[in-house]
Amino acid sequence: MSETAIFLLDGEEVPFEPGQTVIQAALSAGRYIPHLCYHPEFKPHGSCKVCTVKVNGRTAASCTLPAQAGLDVESDTEEINELRRTLVQMLFAEGNHFCPSCEKSGNCTLQALGYDLGVMTAGFRHFFPDRPVDASHPDILLDFNRCILCELCVRASCEVDDKCVFALSGRGLSKHLVVNAESGLLADTDIALTDKAMEVCPVGVILKKRVGFAQPIGRRRYDPDPISAQALRDAPRPPTGAGHCAACEVEE
Protein backbone atom coordinates (compact mmCIF):
# COMPACT_ATOMS: atom_id res chain seq x y z
CA MET A 1 0.00 0.00 0.00
CA SER A 2 1.29 3.39 -0.86
CA GLU A 3 -0.79 5.34 1.67
CA THR A 4 1.02 7.87 3.82
CA ALA A 5 1.98 6.51 7.22
CA ILE A 6 -0.58 8.54 9.14
CA PHE A 7 -3.49 7.68 11.42
CA LEU A 8 -6.01 9.89 13.17
CA LEU A 9 -5.87 10.33 16.97
CA ASP A 10 -8.84 12.27 18.33
CA GLY A 11 -9.23 13.76 14.89
CA GLU A 12 -5.62 14.88 14.48
CA GLU A 13 -3.02 13.34 12.21
CA VAL A 14 -0.26 11.26 13.81
CA PRO A 15 2.64 10.02 11.66
CA PHE A 16 4.25 6.67 12.41
CA GLU A 17 7.23 4.51 11.47
CA PRO A 18 6.63 0.96 10.26
CA GLY A 19 6.56 -1.42 13.24
CA GLN A 20 5.44 1.20 15.77
CA THR A 21 2.42 0.59 17.95
CA VAL A 22 -0.29 3.21 18.29
CA ILE A 23 0.98 4.32 21.72
CA GLN A 24 4.60 4.56 20.52
CA ALA A 25 3.62 6.71 17.57
CA ALA A 26 1.33 8.85 19.72
CA LEU A 27 3.95 9.51 22.40
CA SER A 28 6.60 10.25 19.77
CA ALA A 29 4.23 12.76 18.22
CA GLY A 30 3.67 14.45 21.57
CA ARG A 31 0.23 12.96 22.13
CA TYR A 32 -0.35 11.38 25.54
CA ILE A 33 -2.32 8.17 25.97
CA PRO A 34 -2.62 7.13 29.66
CA HIS A 35 -0.78 3.86 30.34
CA LEU A 36 0.43 1.77 33.27
CA CYS A 37 2.00 -1.60 32.37
CA TYR A 38 3.51 -0.29 29.13
CA HIS A 39 7.21 0.51 29.40
CA PRO A 40 9.19 1.68 26.37
CA GLU A 41 12.09 -0.64 27.08
CA PHE A 42 10.04 -3.81 27.19
CA LYS A 43 7.84 -5.80 24.90
CA PRO A 44 4.24 -4.65 25.41
CA HIS A 45 2.29 -6.69 27.91
CA GLY A 46 -1.24 -5.46 27.23
CA SER A 47 -2.56 -6.49 30.63
CA CYS A 48 -3.60 -3.33 32.48
CA LYS A 49 -5.77 -2.00 29.61
CA VAL A 50 -5.40 1.58 30.85
CA CYS A 51 -4.10 2.54 27.37
CA THR A 52 -7.33 1.30 25.80
CA VAL A 53 -8.51 3.40 22.86
CA LYS A 54 -11.43 3.10 20.49
CA VAL A 55 -10.34 2.21 16.98
CA ASN A 56 -12.83 2.26 14.17
CA GLY A 57 -15.54 1.77 16.78
CA ARG A 58 -13.89 -1.10 18.72
CA THR A 59 -11.81 -0.92 21.90
CA ALA A 60 -8.18 -2.07 21.79
CA ALA A 61 -5.03 -1.72 23.91
CA SER A 62 -2.94 0.91 22.13
CA CYS A 63 0.31 -0.61 23.45
CA THR A 64 -0.19 -3.81 21.45
CA LEU A 65 -2.05 -2.36 18.48
CA PRO A 66 0.22 -1.90 15.43
CA ALA A 67 -0.13 1.55 13.90
CA GLN A 68 -1.75 1.39 10.49
CA ALA A 69 -2.53 4.04 7.94
CA GLY A 70 -6.11 5.21 8.08
CA LEU A 71 -6.93 4.14 11.65
CA ASP A 72 -9.42 6.40 13.39
CA VAL A 73 -8.37 6.34 17.05
CA GLU A 74 -10.36 7.93 19.89
CA SER A 75 -8.50 8.32 23.19
CA ASP A 76 -9.22 11.51 25.13
CA THR A 77 -12.99 11.11 25.25
CA GLU A 78 -15.23 11.04 28.29
CA GLU A 79 -16.31 7.48 27.45
CA ILE A 80 -12.77 6.08 27.29
CA ASN A 81 -11.49 8.10 30.27
CA GLU A 82 -14.39 6.78 32.34
CA LEU A 83 -13.35 3.23 31.45
CA ARG A 84 -9.77 4.06 32.48
CA ARG A 85 -11.00 5.51 35.77
CA THR A 86 -12.87 2.29 36.49
CA LEU A 87 -9.75 0.21 35.76
CA VAL A 88 -7.67 2.32 38.15
CA GLN A 89 -10.43 2.11 40.78
CA MET A 90 -10.50 -1.68 40.55
CA LEU A 91 -6.72 -1.84 41.05
CA PHE A 92 -7.04 0.32 44.17
CA ALA A 93 -9.91 -1.79 45.57
CA GLU A 94 -8.17 -5.10 44.86
CA GLY A 95 -4.91 -4.51 46.76
CA ASN A 96 -4.01 -2.69 49.95
CA HIS A 97 -2.98 0.71 48.63
CA PHE A 98 -2.54 2.78 51.76
CA CYS A 99 -0.82 5.81 50.23
CA PRO A 100 -0.25 7.71 53.53
CA SER A 101 2.27 5.08 54.68
CA CYS A 102 3.79 4.15 51.32
CA GLU A 103 7.38 5.10 50.53
CA LYS A 104 6.46 5.21 46.81
CA SER A 105 3.82 7.90 47.32
CA GLY A 106 4.55 10.79 44.97
CA ASN A 107 6.69 8.56 42.75
CA CYS A 108 3.93 6.03 42.09
CA THR A 109 2.56 5.62 38.58
CA LEU A 110 -0.77 4.19 39.75
CA GLN A 111 -1.29 7.09 42.14
CA ALA A 112 -0.25 9.66 39.53
CA LEU A 113 -2.68 8.13 37.03
CA GLY A 114 -5.44 8.34 39.62
CA TYR A 115 -4.67 12.01 40.20
CA ASP A 116 -4.56 12.81 36.50
CA LEU A 117 -7.78 10.96 35.71
CA GLY A 118 -9.52 12.58 38.70
CA VAL A 119 -10.18 9.35 40.60
CA MET A 120 -11.59 10.49 43.96
CA THR A 121 -12.49 7.05 45.37
CA ALA A 122 -11.98 3.37 44.61
CA GLY A 123 -15.77 3.15 44.62
CA PHE A 124 -15.94 -0.62 44.82
CA ARG A 125 -15.95 -2.73 47.96
CA HIS A 126 -12.34 -3.01 49.09
CA PHE A 127 -10.90 -6.54 49.17
CA PHE A 128 -8.44 -5.88 52.04
CA PRO A 129 -6.45 -8.99 51.07
CA ASP A 130 -3.98 -10.60 53.47
CA ARG A 131 -0.59 -10.36 51.78
CA PRO A 132 2.37 -10.65 54.18
CA VAL A 133 5.50 -8.71 53.21
CA ASP A 134 8.84 -10.37 52.48
CA ALA A 135 11.55 -8.57 54.46
CA SER A 136 13.99 -11.49 54.31
CA HIS A 137 16.50 -9.77 52.04
CA PRO A 138 19.01 -7.52 53.86
CA ASP A 139 18.69 -4.65 51.35
CA ILE A 140 15.30 -5.07 49.67
CA LEU A 141 11.72 -5.08 50.92
CA LEU A 142 8.87 -6.73 49.03
CA ASP A 143 5.43 -5.40 49.91
CA PHE A 144 2.98 -7.53 47.94
CA ASN A 145 0.02 -5.48 49.20
CA ARG A 146 0.59 -3.00 46.38
CA CYS A 147 1.22 -5.40 43.50
CA ILE A 148 -0.88 -4.71 40.39
CA LEU A 149 0.44 -7.70 38.40
CA CYS A 150 1.94 -5.59 35.59
CA GLU A 151 4.82 -8.09 35.26
CA LEU A 152 7.37 -5.33 34.71
CA CYS A 153 9.67 -6.85 37.36
CA VAL A 154 9.14 -10.29 35.82
CA ARG A 155 10.06 -8.96 32.41
CA ALA A 156 13.04 -6.94 33.67
CA SER A 157 14.46 -9.78 35.75
CA CYS A 158 14.22 -12.30 32.89
CA GLU A 159 14.94 -10.15 29.84
CA VAL A 160 17.54 -7.73 31.21
CA ASP A 161 19.00 -9.22 34.40
CA ASP A 162 18.84 -12.80 33.09
CA LYS A 163 17.84 -14.00 36.59
CA CYS A 164 14.09 -14.58 36.50
CA VAL A 165 13.72 -13.74 40.19
CA PHE A 166 9.99 -13.00 39.87
CA ALA A 167 7.01 -14.76 38.35
CA LEU A 168 3.24 -14.68 38.52
CA SER A 169 1.44 -17.70 39.91
CA GLY A 170 -2.22 -18.70 40.07
CA ARG A 171 -5.06 -17.56 37.86
CA GLY A 172 -7.86 -15.04 38.09
CA LEU A 173 -8.47 -13.72 41.58
CA SER A 174 -5.73 -15.89 43.08
CA LYS A 175 -3.07 -14.63 40.69
CA HIS A 176 -0.14 -13.24 42.63
CA LEU A 177 3.53 -12.35 42.43
CA VAL A 178 5.96 -15.04 43.61
CA VAL A 179 9.69 -15.18 44.18
CA ASN A 180 11.56 -17.83 42.25
CA ALA A 181 13.32 -19.63 45.10
CA GLU A 182 12.60 -22.92 46.79
CA SER A 183 11.89 -21.12 50.07
CA GLY A 184 9.89 -18.48 48.22
CA LEU A 185 11.97 -15.81 49.96
CA LEU A 186 13.82 -13.00 48.25
CA ALA A 187 16.88 -13.57 50.46
CA ASP A 188 17.41 -16.89 48.68
CA THR A 189 17.66 -15.35 45.21
CA ASP A 190 20.59 -13.61 43.54
CA ILE A 191 18.75 -10.31 43.08
CA ALA A 192 21.03 -7.28 43.42
CA LEU A 193 20.33 -3.60 44.07
CA THR A 194 21.75 -2.77 40.65
CA ASP A 195 19.29 -5.04 38.83
CA LYS A 196 16.85 -3.62 36.32
CA ALA A 197 14.08 -5.35 38.28
CA MET A 198 14.81 -2.95 41.15
CA GLU A 199 13.91 0.07 39.01
CA VAL A 200 10.78 -0.81 37.11
CA CYS A 201 8.06 -1.35 39.72
CA PRO A 202 5.43 1.34 38.99
CA VAL A 203 4.00 0.99 42.51
CA GLY A 204 5.57 0.39 45.93
CA VAL A 205 6.24 -3.38 45.88
CA ILE A 206 10.02 -3.57 45.34
CA LEU A 207 11.69 -1.10 47.67
CA LYS A 208 15.26 -0.41 48.69
CA LYS A 209 15.60 -0.61 52.45
CA ARG A 210 16.86 2.28 54.60
CA VAL A 211 16.05 5.11 52.17
CA GLY A 212 12.50 5.66 53.40
CA PHE A 213 11.31 9.23 52.90
CA ALA A 214 14.86 10.51 52.27
CA GLN A 215 13.18 12.39 49.45
CA PRO A 216 10.42 14.39 51.17
CA ILE A 217 6.75 14.23 50.16
CA GLY A 218 6.05 17.31 48.09
CA ARG A 219 9.39 17.12 46.25
CA ARG A 220 8.74 13.88 44.44
CA ARG A 221 8.44 12.95 40.78
CA TYR A 222 4.76 13.68 40.24
CA ASP A 223 4.56 16.71 42.54
CA PRO A 224 5.52 19.46 40.06
CA ASP A 225 3.64 18.19 37.01
CA PRO A 226 0.99 15.59 36.31
CA ILE A 227 2.00 12.28 34.73
CA SER A 228 0.49 13.27 31.39
CA ALA A 229 2.94 16.16 31.05
CA GLN A 230 5.91 14.09 32.20
CA ALA A 231 5.21 11.15 29.90
CA LEU A 232 5.31 13.53 26.96
CA ARG A 233 8.51 15.15 28.15
CA ASP A 234 10.10 11.72 28.25
CA ALA A 235 8.86 10.81 24.77
CA PRO A 236 10.06 9.63 22.38
CA ARG A 237 11.84 7.43 24.84
CA PRO A 238 14.77 5.74 23.15
CA PRO A 239 15.95 2.44 24.64
CA THR A 240 19.53 3.77 24.77
CA GLY A 241 19.49 5.17 28.31
CA ALA A 242 20.53 1.99 30.07
CA GLY A 243 19.39 2.01 33.68
CA HIS A 244 16.98 4.86 33.01
CA CYS A 245 13.56 4.16 34.37
CA ALA A 246 10.79 6.67 33.86
CA ALA A 247 8.67 5.22 36.64
CA CYS A 248 11.17 5.46 39.46
CA GLU A 249 13.61 8.15 38.42
CA VAL A 250 14.64 10.37 41.30
CA GLU A 251 14.88 14.05 40.57
CA GLU A 252 17.81 16.27 41.46
Partner 1 sequence: MNAPVETKKKLRVATTSLAGCFGCHMSFLDIDERLFPLLDLIEFDRSPLTDIKHCGPCDIGIVEGGICNAENVHVLREFRRNCKILIAIGACAVTGGLPAQRNHLDLGDCLSEVYLTEGGLEHGLIPNDPELPLPLDKVHPLHEVVKVDYFIPGCPPSADAIWKFLTDLIAGRTPKLGHGLIKYD
Residues that bind partner 1 (CB under 8 A): 92, 96-102, 105-106, 111, 114-116, 118, 120-123, 125-126, 128-131, 217, 223, 225-226
Q: Least separation, in Å, of the C-beta of 218 and partner 1?
A: 10
- In the bound state with partner 1, the residue whose beta carbon lies nearer, of 116 and 199, is 116
Dist CA 68 CA 16 (whole Å) = 8
Q: Least separation, in Å, of the C-beta of 118 and partner 1?
A: 7
Q: Least separation, in Å, of the C-beta of 124 and partner 1?
A: 9
Which residues, 6 or more positions from 189, have their beta carbon under 8 angstroms from its beta carbon? Answer: 163, 165, 179, 180, 181
- In the bound state with partner 1, the residue whose beta carbon lies nearer, of 25 and 248, is 248
Dist CA 155 CA 165 (whole Å) = 10
Dist CA 146 CA 13 (whole Å) = 38
Whose CA is closest to 146, among 171, 111, 194, 196?
A: 111
- In the bound state with partner 1, the residue whose beta carbon lies nearer, of 60 and 119, is 119
Q: Least separation, in Å, of the C-beta of 111 and partner 1?
A: 6
- In the bound state with partner 1, the residue whose beta carbon lies nearer, of 159 and 223, is 223
Dist CA 154 CA 224 (whole Å) = 30
